[in-house]
Amino acid sequence: MAKLDDVKGVFLDYGGVIEDMQPDPMLFKKGVAILKEMLEGAGVHIEPDVLANLLREGQKGYEDWYRHNGFRELPSSEIWCSFLLKGYCRTERVRRKIEAMAEELSSIYEFYQYKRRPPASMLHVLKYLFQNRFVLALVSNTLSRTLIPERLHKFGVERYFTTVVLSMETGVRKPARAIFEHALKQSGMTPMQCVFVGDTMSRDIEGSRKAGFRYTVLIESGITGEKDSGYQGSVSPDHTIEKIEDLLPLLIG
């Protein structure tokens, strides 16, 4: 593979890159049970099967909403009351309780959607790039402000990242150009100095191309097919790799 010349910044997606992710119905069922118990404490009583369907349909509804609204990201409280628990925030009392616990609900909901497993070489790759003076940044779509920082801390890799940009904090999602530009500005890099590494064509490759990144690299994950379903864009990555360690020969030779 040809080396990517003059790269100083390596920008990465989280899900599918830092952690591989696979759909896991049993894990999702466990998450639904936890959410059900939390909601009962707020006075919202929903049977598990009903709640699971609400979450699936609410997720689809929210995805349709942001696609038609410039990929804006709503506050988690609004996502829960207007989409994921649509029809259940009928009173001001219930709404206030849901709003107060929205971040915790989001963290649990996202965590239990997929089986997560960091690639065995992930720590080595990030450490090696950091030691070779690459600026590392992370850009991720997420409904939770806390889950990804907690996972980075758990793996002991948060110190390698100059910048961590989450859609829930910026108010805009990939592939919108603005979230990439926000990350570039925070890191002090120009797009022509950088490569973006992600697991989706529709979000990562499409968005980083719009933002002018010099190179793009696709690493397929267990959720690439799901996230790219129906995508009809015309962009293509400079390289497609199978595993995160394949980045090293591209960047260092």
**16-25, 86-95, 165-174, 195-204: the lowest-pLDDT one:** 86-95
- Token pair recorded at residue 72: 């804006």
- At 1 the pLDDT is 56
Query: For residue 253, what are its two tokens?
Result: 């030779």
Which residues, in sequence order, are CB contacts of 218 under 8 Å at separation 6+? 198, 199, 200, 201, 204, 205, 237, 239, 240, 241
CA angle 186, 205, 227 (to 5 degrees): 110
pLDDT attached to residue 225: 92
Mean pLDDT of the chain: 95
Handedness of CA 53, 54, 55, 58 (dihedral sign): positive
Cβ neighbours, 10 Å, residue 147: 21
What local confidence, expressed as pLDDT, does residue 237 receive?
Answer: 96
d(CA 160, CA 143): 23
The DSSP symbol for 220 reads -
How many angstroms separate the CA atoms of 4 and 247, rounded?
10
pLDDT in tens, 55-66: 999 999 999 999
Q: What would the pLDDT profile of 74-107 be if each residue is shown by its tens digit?
A: 999 999 999 999 999 888 999 999 999 999 999 9
Residues 71, 167: Cα–Cα separation, whole Å: 10
At residue 115, the pLDDT reads 96
